[in-house]
């Protein structure tokens, strides 16, 4: 069976390449002619570890190709995946489904025989049925269940480890309405059976909701530990140890318990918001997720305030060096990155900002103004009154502290990812501020006095 992948972004390109690696013939379609031209020349338009070799290998084997011609890709395909973007709709936070519905209409016009139309984009409950309606309206000659099916197959890959996530997923979710559609998808994912990957077979609505529920749960977990971090600073506790202490409990698990500047990226912010809207409209508000969204939005700005406070409340005439800009390491994706909220606030407070990111600079330059762009962490440090570590790229994990100190105007490290241990950075002569790394007051105090010392101490730990 040949498949068509509509949308060749982070998800479409990785999924298409991985399906071709499984031995399926895949045509990846995008309406962005520049992107397709680059892919046809063998250039990968995004940064994703290992993707260049995978694409190269499968193009070479004749199983993977790229085109702007949607009709040519859909004609004769047994399955057509829709992997276009579903950003937040301006103003109300709903998922903008115009790309999905637009693609569905184009696919309908191009169908030449039976195909299972599979939504891989993250879409609100009800979208699959709407896709079926669009196909039916566009092509009244086609009968649902006979000439085409619709299915939901949400994607759970993470940028930065996308290939491994696709090849060895925790589970594959398949929402279908007919046996035929279920069989098409099972056949495509059969190569995963060797790893005994669980396949969760559901109806359309359930599959659509699983994706939002998963992202909302993970976003809530991150937000929970971030609030614990704030509490740790107040009471002299260390959030890294709290996270370890709770994460070893098998019911909780250690992942997504790293305190930091708040979640960002192309999924969590828009998906939590879309779930909030869907739930409110369905008359079943998700109050925990509503609060998560609110707390996380506030947190990104609070990170900039934390920098200002640590530098004695005034950034005028000061230079801040920012290490890392992307929303997480190993991607060039800047969508909703905390840096986009933090840096303008530092600039508004009077700071000059110098910055470096290993892969995200091209994208960041389109979104941020007035920065000095640097070639590495040491260039960022030159003349800086403080370094702020925003994204925990590996190259920032073992910086030469003495060298940084010799380059900086003042040795200050504000580590929003808790990459460094406070004691070792301070031993190198830095003032250090992590996230949630509270320290107990030196001597036993009366409760009120102890709390006051922990608060002021937090500002200097
Ligand atoms: N990025 C992730 O890590 C991730 C993970 C899981 C799920 N998702 C979901 O997958 C979907 C895609 O995300 P992404 O990050 O790959 O988006 P993206 O913006 O990187 O890529 C979308 C692509 O679709 C193309 N496109 C739009 N309409 C088209 C049309 N009619 N025909 C052909 N091409 C068209 C765009 O040009 C773009 O290249 C979203 O719903 C997202 O929520 C993303």
- What is the SS3 assignment for 22? coil
Q: Give yes or no: 232 in active site.
A: no
Domain boundary, last residue among 154, 186, 202 = 202
Tokens found for residue 109: 């016009």
What integer pLDDT is reported at residue 91 of this predicted model? Answer: 82
- 388 domain residue, yes or no: yes
- 70 domain residue, yes or no: yes
pLDDT digits 0-9 by tens, 39-92 = 999 999 999 999 999 999 999 999 999 999 999 999 999 999 999 999 999 888
- 213 domain residue, yes or no: no
> From the CB of 121, is ligand 1 less than 6 Å away?
yes
Distance CA 295, CA 247 (A): 22
Distance 132 CA to ligand 1 centre (A): 20
What's the domain range around 453? 237-458
Q: Whose C-alpha lies nearest to ligand 1, atom 1?
A: 10
Distance 285 CA to ligand 1 centre (A): 28
- 429 domain residue, yes or no: yes
* Together in a domain, 263 and 195: no
> From the CB of 103, is ligand 1 less than 6 Å away?
yes
Q: State which of 73, 263, 266, 270 you would mutate to test the pocket of ligand 1, scoring each by most atoms of that ligand within 8 A of its C-beta.
A: 266
- What is the SS3 assignment for 352? strand
- 245 domain residue, yes or no: yes
* Together in a domain, 120 and 254: no
The CATH number of residue 241's host domain is 3.40.50.720
Domain boundary, last residue among 177, 202, 227 = 202
Q: Whose C-alpha lies nearest to ligand 1, atom 39?
A: 9
* Together in a domain, 448 and 348: yes
> From the CB of 224, is ligand 1 less than 6 Å away?
no
Distance 99 CA to ligand 1 centre (A): 9
* Together in a domain, 158 and 285: no
Where does 293-363 show beta strands of DSSP type E? Answer: 319-323, 352-356
Banded model confidence at residue 458, pLDDT cuts 50, 70, 90: very low
- 209 domain residue, yes or no: no
Domain boundary, last residue among 180, 202, 224 = 202
What integer pLDDT is reported at residue 446 of this predicted model? Answer: 56
What integer pLDDT is reported at residue 445 of this predicted model? Answer: 55
Distance CA 165, CA 425 (A): 35
- 227 domain residue, yes or no: no
> From the CB of 38, is ligand 1 less than 6 Å away?
no
Torsion of CA 345, 351, 354, 356, to 10 degrees: -20
> From the CB of 336, is ligand 1 less than 6 Å away?
no
Distance CA 152, CA 395 (A): 39
Ligand 1 atom nearest the C-alpha of 121 is 41
Query: Reading across the β-sheet that carries 25-29, which strands appear in turn?
Result: 64-67, 25-29, 2-6, 79-82, 115-119, 148-152, 172-175, 199-202
Overall average pLDDT of the 394-399 stretch = 98
- 246 domain residue, yes or no: yes
What integer pLDDT is reported at residue 53 of this predicted model? Answer: 98
Quote the number of domains for the chain. 2
* Together in a domain, 157 and 15: yes
Overall average pLDDT of the 117-124 stretch = 98
pLDDT digits 0-9 by tens, 277-303 = 999 999 999 999 999 999 999 999 999
Closest to 35 (Cα-Cα) out of 74, 81, 66: 66
What integer pLDDT is reported at residue 453 of this predicted model? Answer: 41
* Together in a domain, 175 and 267: no
The number of beta carbons lying within 10 Å of the beta carbon of residue 444 is: 8
> From the CB of 4, is ligand 1 less than 6 Å away?
no
pLDDT digits 0-9 by tens, 315-359 = 999 999 999 999 999 999 999 999 999 999 999 999 999 999 999
> From the CB of 12, is ligand 1 less than 6 Å away?
yes
* Together in a domain, 396 and 312: yes
Is the predicted pLDDT of residue 389 greater than 90, yes or no?
yes
* Together in a domain, 318 and 451: yes
Q: State which of 5, 11, 13, 47 you would mutate to test the pocket of ligand 1, scoring each by most atoms of that ligand within 8 A of its C-beta.
A: 11
What integer pLDDT is reported at residue 90 of this predicted model? Answer: 85
* Together in a domain, 421 and 281: yes
* Together in a domain, 352 and 242: yes
* Together in a domain, 188 and 241: no
Overall average pLDDT of the 101-122 stretch = 98
Q: Which listed residue (18, 232, 267, 374) is catalytic?
A: 267
What integer pLDDT is reported at residue 450 of this predicted model? Answer: 46
φ and ψ of 45, to 5 deg: -75, -10
């Amino acid at each position: 069976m040949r498949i068509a992948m509509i949308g060749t972004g982070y998800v479409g390109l990785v999924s298409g390449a991985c399906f071709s690696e499984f031995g399926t013939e895949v045509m990846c379609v995008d309406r962005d002619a520049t992107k397709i031209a680059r892919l046809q020349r063998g250039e990968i338009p995004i940064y994703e570890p290992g993707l260049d070799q995978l694409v190269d290998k499968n193009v070479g084997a004749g199983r993977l190709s790229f085109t702007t011609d949607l009709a040519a890709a859909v004609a004769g395909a047994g399955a057509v995946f829709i992997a276009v973007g579903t950003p937040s709709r301006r103003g109300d936070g709903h998922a903008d489904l115009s790309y999905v519905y637009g693609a569905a209409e184009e696919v309908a016009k191009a169908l030449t025989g039976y195909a299972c139309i599979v939504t891989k984009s993250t879409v609100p409950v009800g979208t699959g049925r709407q896709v079926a309606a669009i196909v039916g309206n566009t092509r009244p000659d086609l009968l649902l269940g006979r000439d085409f099916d619709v299915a939901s197959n949400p994607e759970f890959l993470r940028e930065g480890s996308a290939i491994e996530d696709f090849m060895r997923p925790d589970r594959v979710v398949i929402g279908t309405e007919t046996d035929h559609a279920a069989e098409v998808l099972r056949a495509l994912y059969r190569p995963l059976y060797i790893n005994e990957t669980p396949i969760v077979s559901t109806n359309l609505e359930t599959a659509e909701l699983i994706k939002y529920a998963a992202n909302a749960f993970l976003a809530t977990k991150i937000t929970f530990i971030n609030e614990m971090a704030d509490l740790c600073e107040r009471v002299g506790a260390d959030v890294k140890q709290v996270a370890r202490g709770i994460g070893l409990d098998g019911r909780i698990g250690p992942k997504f318990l790293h305190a930091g500047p708040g979640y960002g990226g192309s999924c969590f912010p828009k998906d939590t918001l879309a779930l909030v809207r869907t739930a409110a409209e369905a008359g079943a508000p998700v109050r925990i997720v509503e609060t998560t969204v609110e707390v996380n939005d506030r947190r990104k700005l609070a990170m900039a305030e934390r920098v200002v406070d640590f530098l004695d409340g005034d950034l005028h005439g000061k230079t801040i060096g920012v290490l890392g800009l992307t929303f997480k390491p190993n991607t060039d994706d800047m969508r909703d990155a905390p840096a986009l909220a933090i840096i303008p606030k530092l600039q508004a407070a009077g700071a000059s900002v110098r910055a470096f990111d290993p892969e995200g600079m091209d994208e960041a330059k389109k979104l941020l103004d007035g920065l000095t762009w640097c070639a590495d962490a040491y260039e960022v440090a030159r003349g800086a009154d403080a370094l702020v570590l925003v994204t925990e790229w590996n190259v920032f994990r073992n910086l030469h502290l003495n060298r940084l100190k010799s380059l900086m105007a003042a040795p200050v490290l504000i580590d929003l990812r808790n990459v460094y241990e406070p004691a070792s950075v301070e031993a190198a002569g830095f003032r250090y501020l992590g996230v949630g790394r509270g320290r107990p007051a030196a001597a036993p105090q009366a409760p009120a006095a102890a709390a006051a010392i922990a608060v002021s101490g937090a500002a200097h730990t």
